[in-house]
């Protein structure tokens, strides 16, 4: 499943291609892809046709596009800016294989095309936004925007406003969010009696860190995934959080991590950060850090929450009284 860097790559692409453009028409080719919109196809289309995409916002792995109606655009164009009055948004859940692709109209439909948006013309830009989803675990729906509980921006956006898609309001801020509070994170972390990786995957504590980047952050921070959170010192918590931030920024620079050919950005290109992984997926291979120090050690894979964790037994030793 795409993690935060992959979703941020998509967000940045959409900002360039769809922000400020009006949705002229919508074709729902497979209603299963809007099953999260409870009022059905007609209501979904009715909420979108004629609306303008005011921005593209992300918190954690949640992605949404605030929408402006024509009357709102005319009334607030100068007073509030392009995203000021937005009350609803188009929410996109990519699931395991969802893709948001920009395409010219003459490009043949993809085999698994589910929803097509025809956008207002803009010179040099494709005219269609397409939602393609082979496995149909993802989907689109229209949702309300509600005030954030801390009064800060809803997420990473071009015009950060204190509103958030209702379905994302329950998750914490992610490490790339300028409004992220380390002090709040550390207080909540210390109160949890669990293992460190379980805490990093808890979207109510810190959002956007998935299995791959948790393994990579823990490797960089030299901490084992079963380290009890209530024993973590402040400097250690800062180290692992900074490692998570660094590894996700590195992944962003590489366009994301692509173990699955179904993950692509809005231009259909895959990322290549998987070539730079130090722990995840490297079972039995030498630990790069230990090898550089002349120490023989191989990455170990262990079962974890119906998934896998990858650690170096030398530079990430198992803790006493670990929480698995």
Known catalytic membership, residue 307: yes
Q: Considering only CA atoms, which of 315, 304, 125 is closest in space to residue 220?
A: 315
Known catalytic membership, residue 111: no
Residues in a beta bridge with 59: 62
If you write DSSP's letter for every residue of 222-233 in order, what string do you get? Answer: T--TT-BGGG--
CA 318 from centre of chain: 30
- Angle, helices 234-253 vs 211-221, to 10°: value is 120
Catalytic residue, from 19, 61, 220, 323: name it. 61
**Residue written as tokens 């790559």?**
9
Known catalytic membership, residue 85: no
Known catalytic membership, residue 8: no
Catalytic residue, from 307, 313, 318, 319: name it. 307
Residues in a beta bridge with 25: 118
CB burial readout 25-56, b (16+ within 10 A) else e = ebebeeeebbeebeeeeeebbebbeebbbbbb
* 67 vs 45: CA distance, rounded Å: 13
**Residue written as tokens 């936004």?**
129
Query: Which residues carry out catalysis?
Result: 2-3, 61, 307
């Amino acid at each position: 499943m795409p993690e935060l860097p992959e979703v941020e790559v998509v967000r940045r692409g959409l900002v360039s291609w769809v922000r400020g453009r009006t949705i002229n028409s919508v074709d729902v080719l497979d209603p299963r892809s809007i099953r999260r919109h409870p009022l059905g196809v007609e209501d979904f289309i009715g909420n979108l046709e004629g609306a303008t995409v005011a921005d593209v916002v992300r918190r954690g792995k949640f992605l949404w596009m605030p929408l402006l109606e024509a009357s709102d655009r005319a009334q607030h164009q100068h007073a509030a800016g392009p995203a000021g009055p937005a009350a609803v948004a188009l929410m996109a859940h990519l699931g395991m294989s969802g893709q948001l692709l920009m395409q010219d109209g003459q490009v043949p439909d993809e085999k698994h095309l589910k929803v097509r948006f025809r956008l207002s013309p803009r010179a040099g830009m494709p005219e269609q936004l397409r939602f393609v989803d082979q496995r149909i675990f993802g989907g689109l729906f229209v949702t309300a925007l509600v005030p954030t509980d801390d009064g800060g921006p809803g997420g990473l956006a071009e015009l950060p406003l204190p509103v958030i898609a209702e379905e994302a309001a329950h998750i914490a801020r992610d490490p790339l969010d300028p409004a992220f509070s380390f002090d709040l994170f550390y207080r909540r972390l210390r109160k949890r009696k669990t293992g460190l990786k379980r805490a990093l995957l808890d979207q109510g504590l810190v959002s956007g860190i998935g299995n791959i980047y948790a393994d990579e952050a823990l490797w960089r921070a030299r901490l084992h995934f079963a380290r009890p959170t209530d024993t973590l010192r402040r400097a250690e918590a800062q180290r692992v959080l900074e490692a998570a931030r660094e590894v996700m920024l590195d992944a962003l620079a590489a366009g994301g991590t692509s173990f699955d050919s179904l993950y692509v950005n809005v231009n259909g290109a895959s990322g290549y950060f998987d070539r730079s992984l130090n722990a995840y997926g490297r079972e039995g291979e030498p630990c790069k850090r230990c090898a550089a120090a002349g120490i023989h050690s191989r990455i170990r894979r262990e079962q974890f929450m119906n998934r896998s964790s990858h650690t170096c037994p030398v530079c990430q030793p198992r803790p006493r009284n670990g929480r698995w």
